[in-house]
A and B are shown apart, each in its own frame.
Chain A
Amino acid sequence: MTPLRISLAAALAAGVLLLVVFELIRSRRLQERYALLWLLTGIVIFVLAVWRGLLSNIADLVGIAYPPSALFILASFFILVVLLHYSTVISKLSDENRILAQRLALLEHRVAADGEQSPKGLSSHES
């Protein structure tokens, strides 16, 4: 069985994580889309910290003698998933960024070409 103090500390940490994520979404610094995985992580860790029998069963199932290690491994797994998710997000962003740069360059070129074709009056000073 997991020592009570470890369970309490893990539950507290998960609770803090959930609160921070909640506040980040509320203040619009984190979009719901990117918060869902964090919320899932926080909820799973919280549940396993509080429901100590389930954690022991999971540890038994995969042959981990010391249940808190199972909690640790599970948390690492979730962080890995979040990181992988971010890698896909970055890939998408860099793709979109490239497309934007290309569109902007082509637009600038067209604006410059238009300017040469029909030169406006030289002086358009504002008083």
Chain B
Amino acid sequence: MIRELREAEPELDVIVIDDGSADRTAAVAAESGAQVVSLPYNVGIGGAVQTGYQYAVKHGFDLAVQVDGDGQHDPLEIARLVEPVLDDRADMVVGSRFARGGGYRGTPPRRVGIHLFAAIVSLIVRARVTDTTSGFRAVNRRAIELFAADYPHDYPEVEATVLLVRRGLRMMEVPVKMRVRETGSSSITTLRAGYYMIKVLLALFIGLFRRYPTLEES
């Protein structure tokens, strides 16, 4: 995966966040020439991803691309993801499996969940969002700083999208093709999926009653 990334986008720095893996993830990643940040114990997807954004803030990155480590996200698609950010048409660009031109087949319950969140988020942000659970994202400096300071827990993608828009940043989707993951299984089993769905729904609902200062105000 890292080799592919470096071949596709040689001018990007590759940072690997190792969320307390017990296997040789960190060593293998370092051998492939990536910067590896190893968390002392598992902090969950949200905390791990936020660590990446904090690294980006510390090292003064103006652009960050978030890619899952399991090979689902094709590095060759990064160029399309980054383009609207570089043109300053969006603060965050999400690679969507469902927007026109993307191709995705998943198990039915998974698709139902993804579409349900898409419908709810579309309502909240008052724009059409098709894939809220995609972790394939490109963000600019403003979004990096926002996420480094404030990022949701556990399965954060849905809430992060809402957070970003409510803080007055621009979000946009670009269709991408996603691949079958090379390694590992989805971290979400059916029971957990139910739990996280309720948790995220609760978070979204209560988020409606929060007042978010836009970045200019804060």
Contact = CB atoms under 8 A, between A and B. Distances in A.
B15 to A, nearest CB: 19
A20 to B, nearest CB: 13
Interface residues of B, number: 12
A31 B198 contact: no
Contacts of B202: 25, 32, 35-36, 39
B40 A100 contact: yes
B20 to A, nearest CB: 9
Interface of A: 22, 25-26, 31-33, 35-36, 39, 95-96, 99-100, 103
Interface of B: 40-41, 153-154, 195, 198-199, 202-203, 206, 209-210
Nearest to A28: B210
Contacts of A95: 41
Given A32-B202, A36-B199, A103 B40 contact: yes
Contact of B209 (A26, A35, A99): A26
A100 B39 CA distance: 10
18 contacts: A25-B202, A25-B206, A26-B210, A31-B153, A32-B153, A32-B203, A32-B206, A33-B153, A33-B154, A35-B202, A36-B195, A36-B198, A36-B199, A39-B202, A99-B40, A99-B41, A100-B40, A103-B40
Contacts of A26: 206, 209-210
Contacts of A99: 40-41
Nearest to A27: B210
Contacts, number: 28
Contacts of A39: 202
A103 B40 CA distance: 7
A99 B42 CA distance: 11
B117 to A, nearest CB: 15
> Closest 10 CB pairs between A and B?
A103-B40, A32-B203, A99-B40, A25-B206, A32-B199, A32-B202, A26-B209, A96-B41, A26-B206, A99-B41
B162 to A, nearest CB: 14
B104 to A, nearest CB: 28
Specify which of A26, A32, A96 lies most central, judged by the most chain B CB atoms within 10 Å of its CB.
A32
